[in-house]
Amino acid sequence: MDGKREFSLYVHVPFCRSKCPYCAFYSFRPRSGEVERWTDCIVKELAAIRHGYLDDAQLATVYFGGGTPSYLPLEQWRTLFKALDALPRSPDCEFTVEANPDSVSTEKLALWNDHGVTRISLGVQSLDDDELKRLARPHTSRQALDAVELCQQSGFRVSADLMFALPGQTLRKWHKSLSGIVRTGVGHISVYQLTIEPESFWGSHQPEGLPDGYAMYRWAQYYLPRKGLKQYEIASFAREGRESRHNLAYWRRTSVLAAGPGAWGFLDGRRFAHHKDLAAWAEAVESGVSPVAYEERQTGTREASEAAVLALRTAEGIDCKAFARRYGRPYLDAIVSKVRQMPSSYFCRTQRGFSLSPRGMRVGNAIWCELLEIGEGERQS
């Protein structure tokens, strides 16, 4: 490495072919002219990022999320790459694009390959066609498997996203999806429990037959490591060396630049988010003013407790010496004191500290709430 400061970059693409009933992300089917306006504004944001942060720095990871980035036409991708190619990247930059199986094509894959994309995060969600219909996904299980194969044959690392605790889903059906994806040989699998968010369609029209997802998550923890995919963070399993470096940038609280409406970033202890509205975001960018609509800076115990929660999302866990150096020994002691009040089976020792055990991962939300209470107590005092 050449010693330059490194950043990650997240670009939010809010466009989708259709809105899934469970989705609460900022995404929608675009109207006439919106894709072109978004593209022009992203080019402006990327130029501002280049001149504002990357004069003597480089990108370690780039991530296009959404929405459905693969929904963008080739013309827009060519325009984006003209701007992206001007941004300095590390020689081993991890460049990820989220994609849906129905919008992957050989032409797009070839273009992505030519411009340094290294990884495709594919929204498979299920390999059961009845489940896919309930989720209103615009693809079949056969299309999903064909897309995985096409991406792999094109030389990309592939991550497959799967969902569990779906309406009417059984453990047997969940295993069918897991085992089917494992057989493709992908190097990374993320598993997400269906959560009904108030902002989603299902938030006001809740489906029937929602199962308890505990057994399904536990089965993934049992099955995937036995197939060579180690759990390296709360929702993701990977073969050796195939972990998502962009994901880890969030959990390690490293610098993340942001572009696009609704995009989140993190810089020098400040977390921020752009306008969650295409028109408001675009008007700001076009006027040369900041598109940031929300920001917060945490200090003291609140910062330390959040850092502990993020670290405990990963198999690395908390490095005690490094944590004490960065946040102070009293804050580490407060975290450790809280941890000791919980069942010891939720934690395991690492070479440098401690992490959640597989059992602890299964009750992670409850553990994180306990740790965040430390910071809440400081704010209220």
Q: How far apart are CA 381 and CA 373, in angstroms?
A: 12
Q: In the chain, where does the domain assigned CATH 3.20.20.70 lie?
A: 5-251
Q: How far apart are CA 160 and CA 152, in angstroms?
A: 12
The CATH code of the domain at 5-251 is 3.20.20.70
- Specify the pLDDT at position 4: 82
Compute how many other C-beta atoms are within 10 angstroms of the C-beta atom of residue 260: 25
The enclosing H or E element of 98 equals: strand 89-99
**One digit per residue, pLDDT tens: the chain, 381 residues?**
456 899 999 999 999 999 999 999 999 999 999 999 999 999 999 999 999 999 999 999 999 999 999 999 999 999 999 999 999 999 999 999 999 999 999 999 999 999 999 999 999 999 999 999 999 999 999 999 999 999 999 999 999 999 999 999 999 999 999 999 999 999 999 999 999 999 899 999 999 999 999 999 999 999 999 999 999 999 999 999 999 999 999 999 999 999 999 999 999 889 999 999 999 999 999 999 999 999 999 888 889 999 999 999 999 999 999 999 999 999 999 999 999 999 999 999 999 999 999 999 999 999 999 998 886 655 444
- Specify the pLDDT at position 380: 45
Considering the four listed CATH numbers 1.20.1730, 3.30.40, 1.10.10, 1.10.3470, the one that applies to the domain covering 300-380 is: 1.10.10
* Ramachandran area for residue 216 (φ above 0: left; ψ -120 to 50: alpha; else beta): alpha
Does the model's pTM come out above 0.85? yes
Residue range 277-318, pLDDT digits in tens: 999 999 999 999 999 999 999 888 889 999 999 999 999 999
Q: In the chain, where does the domain assigned CATH 1.10.10 lie?
A: 300-380
Give the residue among 287, 290, 289, 286 at the shortest CA–CA distance from 274.
290
- Specify the pLDDT at position 381: 42
Torsion of CA 283, 8, 246, 76, to 10 degrees: 50
